[in-house]
A and B are shown apart, each in its own frame.
Chain A
Amino acid sequence: MSALMNCRALNRRTLLRGSMAGAAVTVALPVLDGFLNDNGTALAATGKPLPPVFGTWFQALSFTPGRWLPDQVGKGYESKAELKPLDRFKDRMNLFSGMKYFHDSRPMEDHRSGWVIGSSGGLQVGSVAPPSIDDIIAENIGKRTRFRSLEISLSGTRQSISRRANSPTYNPSEPSPTALYSRIFGPEFKDPNAAAFTPDAVALARKSVLSVVAEDRKAFSAKLGAADRARLEEYFTSVRQIEQQLEIELQKPAPLDSCTRPGKMDEAGLGNTTELVEPNTKLFGQLLAHALSCDQTRVVNVHLGIHSAIRKTGGALAWHSLTHEEPTDEKLGYQPQVVWFIEWANQNFASFLSVLENTKEGPGTLLDRMALLWITDHGDARIHSVDNVPIITVGNAGGRLKSGYHISAPGDPSTRVGLTLQQAFGLPVNSWGLLSNATTKTFSELQA
């Protein structure tokens, strides 16, 4: 490699080009490469991988400036204090910094504007509200499960950030673990391993179309010279892969070995105090783990609570009020009570992730095939800024998303993360977001 290239950041695309330069080229990826996890073991007995799962986690009020942004970018960064509770998931996480929510000079609605942009890629333009990212992804992966998506709230409200396309309202969250249990595992629950399998009519039709036009396609290469024919061979190999994927879709799905119906659970009572949120988070985590293992849904949305809600029992002020009311401790350089809540919330998030990680599926865990998008409303909640908002993803979406990075993208719209995720989930999209929040740039270093 030329040393001049040393001066420039290498990335996947330049490497790809470098490796291809000159040669007449095939960069053939192994069949289904995109579906394999790091061990290459995610394929179940039938050859069909377990489906990827998308989730969102909304946690208002951001982190404290100076207490979360790592000094290093890339892999192997060192977490600052407020992210320490998530350290054991660092290899499965990506942390994004520097990006912002653009409100394009429309009036800022307290807190709300931030999370609307974070979840829907922009504020509503005209009369049509944009769908939230979970709905965009559910449109692609959530149609064949019993629940298109599940929304839960950890602090007793029905708030959610999930909105269907063209819907004037948000999908209400389920605040009660008991109620969610009945909804999923009540009398209507059918063991997915026992259910009859009907192949999808469209997939069947696609397969027949491919076989009918196969000869016509081959006719094209029949006239070609040796070099061209070798190139077209790659094309036909790629087509065969599409056919194999269809073949898999038309088979009865792999048995969901880890699907079990959970025992009935007792909830601790609903409410917005940290003492209640903690046990309910674990209960919800277990319920969702069972629901996902049984493929009842492939999209989940978790809402920690509206900005003004979370508090300690007996605490006069909730987390939100403290962000404005609590003086910055001059010696510490931050608001100690606010920091307590942030670290508590991250600890709570970690405990939720642990439940998913402890749900074993074959040689891997449920978290392997998930990608969870963590978003917030502000960069600095104290002054309601929307610059430098933290964003986190957790999980590899079944090998589709790389992890372990801290990525800094100052001034870019936050939608770059969402677009990267949409593409990781196989959506045929090349842009996302409205007005200044629109982007066509993904984080290609994360694309598996």
Chain B
Amino acid sequence: MPTQLLSGAILAVAAAALFAAPARAESKSFVVTWFGQAMNSKDGDCGPGGPNPRWAEQRLRNARDMGLSGEEVEKTLKEDLAGDEGGEAGKLVQMSVFRGKIDGEPVNGYLYPNTVVDPKLKGLIGDNAKFQYGFNLDGKSTDEDFEDPETHQTGVDSEFTRAMGCMPNFRGGLTPATAPLEYAWAWAWKKEGRSAWIITVTAEDLTKDGDATVTFDRAIERLRFNADGTPRNDSSYRIDPSPRSHNEYKAVITNGMITLADQGAGDFNMVYNPEFIPVIRMTKVHMRMKVLADRTIEGFIGGYERWDDLYIAYASGGKANEDGNAGDLPGLYYLLKKYADYDPSPATGQNMAISSTWNFYGIPAFSVKTESPKATVHH
């Protein structure tokens, strides 16, 4: 078996050899155990009337938008409910799926959301929405910008949060227990089917202030789990040698907080889950994270993200994702389009990217580089 012998002795040598600079470099690797858009929903943050309606109600409004009178909607609903599939697959649902219109003909509204009448769903509004996690991406600070509830940095750009914050299934908090349904669902259901992500921090002394290097990589192995379904610590993962999911940043450690040395200078590209969001692409990336006493990490990474990537991810599930998870999909399309705040299209002036912040958690792991003749390991 042409397997490599991994001994403690080789380990020590290899760890020093990879990052050539500091003579006594110390590396720690972590496997990501949660990755979701950082939400911070509060009562009253959607203004009068509260959050946008749930989809069951929204589709009745859509029917009216499509020209049915209130009476007609009520009558159709009654007929649908008496039918075999109840409210789930009746006429209103059919209308809802085909609510796009091209040349007067109905078309699939998820494929052609721009041909659907904008339901004008709302985004976060008012003082109750003031605190959102993230970073000041554009260097400006206006009254419209948010304030980070942890760092109290002002001028935070997080228009994704604003756009989606009033969609019922996107409301929630940070931890997996309080996270929005959309992300809890995507995680619980898909967690075992995608490759793990590995974060490695290297510095001369990780416990002291100073320069560091941070990498985000995709692993070849899937995340490993314990018997009770929780992620397993101290497992080993090989780094995918393909450069497309390799992200390397110069970083600094200050009072235990690890941030990028040049916030906003780099990009972030990561293959995620083909069944959910295939690739996460961000530019002008900011990041902060800290290693906690129990050897785990928590942090945030933000930047400008292609909003059509996100829309396609949500809409690819069609009606099932609309009624089950994301909510009114064309409505969501218009929200993302409306709040997009970066990268205007030269042709139309429409912004193609939206400021966005993800939060993540991780647990200790071993990462093993595979492209070099000798495996190199960090823990």
Contacts and interface: CB of A to CB of B under 8 A. Distances in A.
Max count, chain B CB within 10 A of own CB: residue among A103, A156, A387:
A387
Contacts of A74: none
B86 A272 contact: yes
Contacts of A384: 185, 188-189
- Identify the interface centre among B185, B188, B193, B325: most chain A CB within 10 Å of its CB: B188
A388 B229 CA distance: 8
Interface in A376-393: 379-380, 382-385, 387-388
Contacts, number: 94
B117 interface: no
Contact of B56 (A105, A273, A321, A383): A321
Interface in B206-224: 222
Given A156-B84, A316-B81, A321 B229 contact: no
A69 B323 CA distance: 29
B181 A385 contact: no
Contacts of B187: 383
Nearest to A273: B86
Nearest to B81: A314
Contacts of B228: 98, 387-388, 410-411
B81 A315 contact: yes
A105 B87 contact: no
A316 B56 contact: yes
Given A314-B81, A315-B81, A324-B169, A308 B188 contact: no
What does DSSP make chain A's interface, helix, strand, loop or mixed? loop
B300 interface: no
B85 interface: yes
B55 interface: yes
B262 interface: no
Nearest to B195: A105
A391 to B, nearest CB: 16
Contact of B87 (A156, A311, A383, A385): A311
B292 to A, nearest CB: 25
A382 B181 contact: yes
Interface string B60-91: 00000000000000000100010011111000
Interface of A: 98, 100, 102-103, 105-108, 110, 156, 271-273, 308-309, 311, 313-318, 320-321, 324-325, 327, 379-380, 382-385, 387-388, 410-412
Contact of A324 (B81, B87, B190, B324): B324
A444 to B, nearest CB: 19
A423 to B, nearest CB: 23
Contacts of A387: 188, 228-229
B192 interface: yes
A380 B229 CA distance: 12
B48 to A, nearest CB: 19
Given A105-B193, A273-B86, A388-B229, A382 B56 contact: no
B188 A380 contact: yes
Given A100-B229, A314-B81, A387-B229, A324 B86 contact: no
Interface of B: 54-56, 77, 81, 84-88, 168-169, 181, 184-185, 187-190, 192-193, 222, 225-229, 275, 320, 323-325
Contacts of B184: 382-383
A342 to B, nearest CB: 18
12 contacts: A98-B228, A103-B193, A107-B275, A108-B275, A272-B86, A273-B86, A324-B324, A325-B56, A325-B324, A383-B181, A410-B229, A411-B227
A327 B189 contact: no
A321 B323 contact: yes
Given A105-B222, A383-B181, A384-B185, A324 B56 contact: no
From DSSP, what is the main secondary structure of chain B's interface residues?
helix
B299 to A, nearest CB: 23
A324 B189 CA distance: 13
Nearest 8 CB-CB pairs, A to B? A411-B227, A387-B229, A384-B189, A383-B188, A385-B188, A316-B87, A324-B324, A383-B185
Given A382-B181, A412-B227, 18 more contacts: A98-B227, A98-B228, A103-B192, A103-B193, A105-B193, A272-B86, A315-B87, A316-B81, A321-B88, A321-B323, A321-B324, A325-B324, A382-B185, A383-B184, A384-B189, A387-B188, A388-B228, A411-B225
A321 B54 CA distance: 11
A389 to B, nearest CB: 11
B84 A271 contact: yes
B87 A318 contact: yes
Given A308-B88, A316-B81, A324 B229 contact: no
A324 B192 contact: no
Contact of A106 (B84, B193, B320, B323): B193
Given A156-B84, A316-B87, A318-B87, A324 B323 contact: yes
Contact of B86 (A105, A311, A325): A311
B320 A110 contact: yes
A379 B187 CA distance: 14
B72 to A, nearest CB: 17
Contacts of A327: 168
B85 A108 contact: no
Contacts of A98: 227-228
B86 to A, nearest CB: 5
A210 B56 CA distance: 70
Nearest to A113: B189
B87 A317 contact: yes
A265 B193 CA distance: 49
A327 B88 CA distance: 18
A383 B189 contact: yes
A107 B168 CA distance: 27
Nearest to A104: B192
A411 B54 contact: no
Contacts of B226: 411
Contacts of B86: 272-273, 311, 315-316, 318
